[in-house]
Structure 1
Amino acid sequence: MIAHPSVTLFVDLSDGDGLVYDAHGRRGRGSAVAGLVPGDLRFGGRAARGIECLQIRLSPVLAVAVLGASTDLSGAVVSLEDVWGRDAGRVEERLRAAVSWDERFTIALDALGRRMSARPSPDPEVAAAWEMMLTSWGRVRVDSLANEVGWSRKRLWSRFRSQIGLTPKHAARLVRFDRAAHLLAAGVAPAQAAAASGYADQAHLHREVKAFTGVTPT
């Protein structure tokens, strides 16, 4: 799994052995949650009719409201039940019993909505800073973010880190990398992807891709 600026839920809907995931050399089975920058994460497994899985990507701002966690998930891969609680099993049963993917999407949205309404949301300043990172593709300075939300740099750094799970600078790097990764996947040459994503040069892009994925842009 390539690093992505979201917390990702993988809900296992398979029959038989189902989904198997491996992260940091530790293997798990069943539904899982991958936090921001989860590292070397692989999914696989065997089932009678193949693997069926519902993937849900939540911005870290929504992950705070839905899961009550974001910081604790950064760099981690854990079972869905660990962060969702016992209700995770009931949601999985409803999703498996659904007769169409449209029905599954409706069930998932309903479950997410109910959790959001029952949990506190992150600071609006943190949410605004994250949105500015996304709209600028990570090409924004922390000082500018702090000025926009009316906080000091130190306060933004502290609150953002405690609620999102990454420092503002690291989060902006992740968003910028995601932009570059999409361009590279679309066949854009590394030099052009570097320029379009705000990197100083192709060597800068090379270092960042290696840092986030362990492989070269090629």
Structure 2
Amino acid sequence: MQVDLTESTLPAPESLRPWITELGRFPAVTDASLPFAHVPHAGTTIVLRAADRPDALVLGPRTRASYSKADKATGCTRLRLAPGAARQLLGVPAAALADRVVRLADLPGVAAELANELARLPTAEVLPFLDAVLPQRISENMTQRTHRELLGAAVAAISAASTVHGLAADLAVSERQLRNLFTDGIGISPKHFARIDRIRQILSDASTEVSLADVAAVHGYYDQSHMAADFKALMGVPPSQFFEGQVPAPTPCRSS
């Protein structure tokens, strides 16, 4: 089974980092007979496909895993949006994109105006192109900047926080304000963000030489059964089945 955790990445230039953190190049799927696991992801991503029909798509935060099979070998270029950048770039809050795939050109934000050019650019030219045109097209007031920076700090600290209450206290904001920041800027609650983060860490660290009980302990679960329940809720199957390739039937990926 193939999992979408491995890609070569390039950091965005400093001038783009308020809105785009990195460019990723995902390698082509080489064996279309194997199921492909799209792991839960808390970010919003612009995906550039330069196959038969060049297009730019937006993938919102993926709250649960999905499974598909490729109909042919193909790769893609991804632009990872910074926390809080969806409304400025795409014209909608991140929550409006959760578990959706939409065409970039169909959204009301400033990035939609660049969709056709982005889809046709070679990967090496994408960041230089955005560096030249994007900062001049985005305006940001002090409140927006403060919220974006606060959300960035929350994302950086959430892995080490034991509770949402503790994270809010550390950032000197209310829990309600923290939830609103996450919902608008990332598209999911801080609690769900933390769950996705842990599952992705488990998948990245997966090894047949380590017991599931040890994995649960390393990643802060009370015991193996709690980890298995969380894993199944997000991945659709328990960890033992997932790592044996016993996953839900694949479905086609389409924009909505």
Which residue number in structure 1 is paired with residue 118 of structure 2? 91
Structure 1 position 2, deviation (Å): 0.8
The AA in structure 2 aligned to 1:118 is: S
The AA in structure 2 aligned to 1:215 is: V
More helix by share: 1
Q: Secondary structure at the match of 2:222?
A: coil
Q: Distance in 2 between matches of 1:91 and 1:17?
A: 13
C-alpha contact 2:90 2:112 (8 A) present in aligned 1: no
Where in structure 2 are there 5+ consecutive unaligned residues?
1-37, 244-256
C-alpha contact 2:63 2:196 (8 A) present in aligned 1: no
Which residue number in structure 2 is paired with residue 106 of structure 1? 128
- Percentage identity across aligned positions? 26
Which residue number in structure 1 is paired with residue 157 of structure 2? 132
- Superposed, 1:29-178 pairs within 5 Å as 30-37=55-62, 39=64, 40=66, 42=68, 44-46=70-72, 50-68=73-91, 69-83=93-107, 84-93=111-120, 95=121, 98=122, 101-107=123-129, 110=132, 113=135, 117-118=138-139, 120-121=144-145, 123=147, 124-134=149-159, 136=160, 139-178=161-200
Q: Secondary structure at the match of 2:206?
A: helix
Structure 1 position 149, deviation (Å): 1.7
Q: Secondary structure at the match of 1:60?
A: coil
C-alpha contact 1:37 1:212 (8 A) present in aligned 2: no
C-alpha contact 2:42 2:186 (8 A) present in aligned 1: no
Does 2:241 align with 1:204? no
Aligned residue pairs, count:
194
Which has the higher relative contact order, 1 or 2, with Cα contacts under 8 A spaced 6 or more apart? 2
Change (3 A) 1:45 1:107: farther
**2:211 corresponds to which of 182, 189, 192:** 189
Q: Distance in 1 between matches of 2:100 and 2:84?
A: 17
Change (3 A) 1:212 1:109: farther
Structure 1 position 109, deviation (Å): 5.2
C-alpha contact 1:38 1:77 (8 A) present in aligned 2: no
Which residue number in structure 1 is paired with residue 246 of structure 2? none
Q: Distance in 1 between matches of 2:134 and 2:210?
A: 36
Q: Distance in 2 between matches of 1:44 and 1:163?
A: 31
Structure 1 position 54, deviation (Å): 0.9
Structure 1 position 114, deviation (Å): 5.2
Change (3 A) 1:173 1:109: farther
C-alpha contact 1:61 1:122 (8 A) present in aligned 2: no
Structure 1 position 42, deviation (Å): 3.7
CA-atom RMSD, angstroms? Answer: 2.9
Q: Secondary structure at the match of 1:61?
A: coil
Structure 1 position 36, deviation (Å): 1.3
